[in-house]
Amino acid sequence: MSDHFDLIVLGAGSGGLAAAKRAASYGARVAIVEGDRVGGTCVIRGCVPKKLLVYGSAYKHLLADAASYGWSMGEVRHDAGTLLANVRAEVDRLNQLHIGLLEKAGVELVRGWGHFLDSRSVAVTATPATLRDQSSESDPAPGSPPRILRGERILIAVGGRPTRPLIQGAEHCWVSDDLFLLESLPERVVIVGAGFIACEFACILNGLGVQVTQLVRGDHLLRGFDLEAAHAVQEGMEAGGIDIRFAHSPAQIAGEPGALVVTTQSGEQIACGGVLLATGRHPYLEPLHLDAAGVATDNGRRIPVDRNQATNVPHIYAVGDATDVINLTPVAVDEGRAFADSVYGGKPRQVNHDLVASAVFSQPELATVGLSEEEAIARCGPEGLRVHRARFRPMAQALPARGPRVLLKLVVEAATDRVLGVQMVGEHAAEIIQMAAIAIGMGATKADFDRTMALHPSVSEEFVTMAN
């Protein structure tokens, strides 16, 4: 079977779905190829189920504070199985919703894994190409010959996969994808990693009553984020009961699922019910046979693109995590839409990758837009900056007299008074920073913040009342 399309999209995740629907809305004939579940990382095994688990785990802290507000409850119990099942049901609903939206948009969904035969042809097979004989175009599954698609243009939106480090026994461990498939949670879990996924799952599991030990190779969490903000998150996580061990790496994991022993490089042994490896992600490029299409990569690690999302082959484009520029859902979505607007809609535009706000949904939550203090020092020098900060226990924690202190921080360029970066650690940080991002994008100065009337009593009023 052979089919011709104006556009073939490889991958029905955040970037692919956005591009396919937008291109179809301009009248393009579009096929989208998906080997796993429609929705991609964000919907199926990322942002959405993770945030639902964050909401679920946050009740622990609310319940702990409730008595100081006069609430008395009998024995409070949590059934992780119910939460995990409910999250999966919501993911199923969203998966169906996205399939329906593709249908409504007139995009043809082609089930299977795509790989290039040449720069305009894609074979779709039942398993990813790297799992089969790479030189073969035929599918091993009996009775299911590959479908061959031809496209005027092809968009690569295949996203990324968790990296499994080369540690003895790593095959016994979970990666983040696996956590969403669990039916219950063990009593004790070891998490390996210091990035946002490691920290978020440490807090989720801790909130759901699991004893968490986090092994961190370096000396701080959340590399790449503002150091002071990362320390504030660490302080809150440790106060919440998470055992974070810096300068610790696993050397070996032994045992069987449910009863594992992690041996660290210093020889310490930690028995646990599960190990989560959260040590990074990489674009899922191997099965694409990019060589067949002549698409260049950075040593197989990522697909470089120009500002129009074009690869070195002019009619092949790439968006999202496959390009490894900024691995966030809204960025993948905007790149997909910008591509479609430019190529099919006659409205050329390029994505602005500056000032992308982001959050870590740890407990306490961290959110940021613009430069960290370290990045600002690198740009302006320490003398070229003013840093304004407020660090205090929020009113919500006054009666419980416990809980993490919030951090609010403005990084300001001394010469221009312009706010280069805003950092917040505390409740609703993501919601607050999303709004601050508008002001920063408009070039707000510290004087603009100062001129803004406070909204009282709130946490974020401190952003507009910070002393000069």
Query: Which residue in the set 12, 366, 390, 420 belongs to the binding site for ligand FAD (CB under 6 A)?
Result: 12
Query: Which residue in the set 29, 47, 255, 452 belongs to the binding site for ligand FAD (CB under 6 A)?
Result: 47
By CB under 6 A, is residue 57 in contact with ligand FAD? no
Q: State the minimum distance, in angstroms, from the CB of residue 113 to ligand FAD.
A: 4
Q: State the minimum distance, in angstroms, from the CB of residue 17 to ligand FAD.
A: 8
Q: Which is nearer to ligand FAD, 309 or 372 (CB)?
A: 309
Catalytic residues: 456
By CB under 6 A, is residue 34 in contact with ligand FAD? yes
By CB under 6 A, is residue 167 in contact with ligand FAD? no
Q: State the minimum distance, in angstroms, from the CB of residue 197 to ligand FAD.
A: 5
Footprint (CB under 6 A) of ligand FAD, residues 177-196 = none
By CB under 6 A, is residue 363 in contact with ligand FAD? no
Q: Which is nearer to ligand FAD, 46 or 345 (CB)?
A: 46
Q: Of 43-51, 79-87, 297-305, 386-394, which segment contacts ligand FAD by CB under 6 A? A: 43-51
By CB under 6 A, is residue 121 in contact with ligand FAD? no
Q: State the minimum distance, in angstroms, from the CB of residue 276 to ligand FAD.
A: 10
Walk across the sheet containing 250-256 and list its strands: 250-256, 259-264, 269-272
Distant-in-sequence, close-in-space partners of 120: CB < 8 Å, separation ≥ 6:
150, 151, 152, 154, 315
- Nearest residue to the partner ligand FAD, using Cβ: 13
Footprint (CB under 6 A) of ligand FAD, residues 379-438 = none
By CB under 6 A, is residue 370 in contact with ligand FAD? no
By CB under 6 A, is residue 146 in contact with ligand FAD? no
Query: Which residue in the set 20, 84, 107, 157 belongs to the binding site for ligand FAD (CB under 6 A)?
Result: 157
Footprint (CB under 6 A) of ligand FAD, residues 72-111 = none
Return the bridge partners of 147, or none.
124
- Quick one: three-class SS letters along the chain? CEEEEEEEEECCCHHHHHHHHHHHHCCCCEEEEECCCCCHHHHHHCHHHHHHHHHHHHHHHHHHHHHHHCCCCCCCCCCHHHHHHHHHHHHHHHHHHHHHHHHHHCCEEEECEEEEEECCEEEEECCCHHHCCCCCCCCCCCCCCCEEEEEEEEEECCCEEECCCCCECHHHCECHHHHCCCCCCCCEEEEECCCHHHHHHHHHHHHCCCEEEEEECCCCCCCCCCHHHHHHHHHHHHHCCCEEEECCCEEEEEEECCEEEEEECCCCEEEECEEEECCCEEECCHHHCHHHHCCCCCCCCCCCCCCCCECCCCCEEECHHHCCCCCCHHHHHHHHHHHHHHHCCCCCCCCCCCCCCEEECCCCCEEEEECCHHHHHHHHCHHHEEEEEEEECCHHHCCCCCCCCEEEEEEEECCCCEEEEEEEECCCHHHHHHHHHHHHHCCCEHHHHHHCCCCCCCCHHHHHCCCC
By CB under 6 A, is residue 202 in contact with ligand FAD? no
Report CA-CA distances (Å) from 91 to 84, 180, 276, 330: 11, 10, 21, 18
Query: Which residue in the set 42, 84, 190, 233 belongs to the binding site for ligand FAD (CB under 6 A)?
Result: 42
Size of the site for ligand FAD (CB under 6 A): 37
By CB under 6 A, is residue 340 in contact with ligand FAD? no
Please give the Cα distance from 216 to 279 (Å, whole number): 10
Distant-in-sequence, close-in-space partners of 159: CB < 8 Å, separation ≥ 6:
11, 13, 14, 15, 40, 41, 283, 284, 320, 321, 322, 332
x-marked contacts with ligand FAD along 289-328 as a string, rule CB under 6 A: -------------------------------xxx----xx
Q: Which is nearer to ligand FAD, 97 or 259 (CB)?
A: 97
Footprint (CB under 6 A) of ligand FAD, residues 255-294 = 284, 287-288
By CB under 6 A, is residue 22 in contact with ligand FAD? no
Nearest 10 degrees: Cα torsion 124, 125, 129, 135 = -90
By CB under 6 A, is residue 151 in contact with ligand FAD? no
Q: State the minimum distance, in angstroms, from the CB of residue 257 to ligand FAD.
A: 20
Q: State the minimum distance, in angstroms, from the CB of residue 353 to ligand FAD.
A: 13
Q: Which of 329, 47, 59, 92 is nearest to 200 (CA)?
A: 47
Q: State the minimum distance, in angstroms, from the CB of residue 459 to ligand FAD.
A: 21
By CB under 6 A, is residue 332 in contact with ligand FAD? yes
Q: State the minimum distance, in angstroms, from the CB of residue 295 to ligand FAD.
A: 13
Query: Which residue in the set 14, 214, 264, 423 belongs to the binding site for ligand FAD (CB under 6 A)?
Result: 14
Q: State the minimum distance, in angstroms, from the CB of residue 443 to ligand FAD.
A: 24
By CB under 6 A, is residue 10 in contact with ligand FAD? yes
By CB under 6 A, is residue 225 in contact with ligand FAD? no
Contacts with ligand FAD, residue ranges (CB under 6 A): 10-16, 33-36, 40-42, 46-47, 50, 113-114, 128, 157-160, 176, 197, 284, 287-288, 320-322, 327-330, 332
